[in-house]
Structure 1
Amino acid sequence: MTNEVEISDVMTEGVIAVEQDKSVVEAAQLLEEEEIRGLVVVDNGEAVGIVVCRDIVYQLVSEGKDPSGHQVKDIMSSDLIVAEEDEVLNDVAMAMVRNNVSRVPVVRGDMLVGILTQSDILRAWPGFAEVIGEEREMDAPATPNPESQDGYCESCENYSEELENINGMMVCPECK
């Protein structure tokens, strides 16, 4: 069923945007006023990036930098994925997962008409959370087997925190 849902059916219409030359403080105030977590960044009306609360915290505040001394363009994500309003939800949702983005501006031709967020997708497609989890699990690095473990040595039967597998037997350093 999700294969046939168009973005326009689930997106948030209207876009709260901020000019790229505005200060980060102005962007933060707009985020608070609108009670949202992300803004589309525009330059002369054209979408050029996204700025989210996390950008402000991770790129400025956590590093002790003063947000009032920075412009939105300094911290925005500019690798922008944009969707046409008639695109299929499943395709765009999977592109969001592959590119690790949480929101995508939606256009009709050259006009910005909305935004698609992970929350919008979850309302329309509750199974999306499972897809995200599986994608992240597949991207996670493999956990190597530990080189040593604790237990009882199969040779001397003494307890050790440094057992190693030697020829199929778990043995302590002394018996190795």
Structure 2
Amino acid sequence: MNENVTVREVMEREFVGVSESDGVLETSELLLREEADLAVVLRGSEPVGVVTDRDVLAHLVSDGDPSGATVEDVMTESVPTVAAEETLPEARDRMSSWSTSWLVVSDGGEPAGIVTEHDILATSALGSEATAQEAMGQTASQTVADEVAAAGATATAGQTIPDEPFDDQGICEQCGSLARNLAAFNGQLLCDDCRDI
């Protein structure tokens, strides 16, 4: 895992926000429409709880009638948070201590986004791939150099052994194309074209 990557670089900046007085049915519809796992319950700009699909299901099982229920009736009042400047290992440890797969990202006391296990694992996997590619590139270059030396050949002045041409490329998570200059944007690694959309 890249130890220096901050939560701000990988978090999802868009999240579902609701108020305590919102209805459970409307909130559930909003979660489905937005394909979100949770809604942050806000009192002004202060997060005071969360509503997950599990909270709604628990209310249905215990009470059975969601028509008159409000978000305040079903929400979980504890909000696991992480500062935007904290590193991914710190966020992973915070998730582990809260036994959750997501954290609300706080920036200056206000919610700035959500970071999930998926965001952390995707960054970790990309970091591992880059390290493996670097090691493979060095090994391949060394093997070619060893073969040249073993054959008794010498390189003429100005001649170099070519680097691997694809070492600095990756797959854009939006369009799936092979691209240079991928950057984290809304929790995804995107190429220049997809970041402009």
Number of corresponding residues: 126
TM-score by length of 1: 0.66
Structure 1 residue aligned with 2:101? 102
Q: Is the 8 A contact 2:51 2:71 kept in 1?
A: yes
Q: CA RMSD in A?
A: 1.8
Question: How far off its partner does 1:13 sit?
Answer: 1.0
Instruction: Specify the alignment match of 1:46 in structure 2.
Output: 46
For 1:2 and 1:80, locate their aligned partners in 2 and report how far apart those are by CA, in whole Å: 26
**Residue in structure 1 matched with residue 14 of structure 2 by the alignment:** 14
Tell me which residue corresponds to 1:81.
80
Confirm or deny: 8 A CA contact 1:41 1:47 kept in the other structure.
Answer: yes
Aligned-residue identity in percent: 30
Q: Deviations over 1:85-124 (max 9, x none)?
A: 1111111111111211222111220332111112222222
Q: Which segments of 5 or more consecutive residues in structure 1 lack a partner in the other structure?
A: 127-176
> Structure 1: which amino acid aligns with 2:41?
V
Which amino acid is the alignment partner of residue 47 of structure 2? A
Aligned-pair CA distance for 1:10: 1.1
1:131 matched residue in structure 2: none
Equivalent position amino acid for 1:32 in 2: L
Question: Contact between 1:7 and 1:87, CA under 8 Å: does it hold in 2?
Answer: yes
Select the structure with the greater relative contact order (CA < 8 A; seq sep ≥ 6): 2
Matching residue's letter, 1:100: S
Contact preservation (8 Å) 2:38, 2:50? yes
Q: Which has the larger radius of gyration?
A: 1
Which residue in 2 is equivalent to 1:146? none
After the TM superposition, which segments of 4 or more aligned residues of structure 1 sit over 6 Å from their partners? Answer: none
Distance in 2 between the 1:28 and 1:42 partners?
Answer: 16
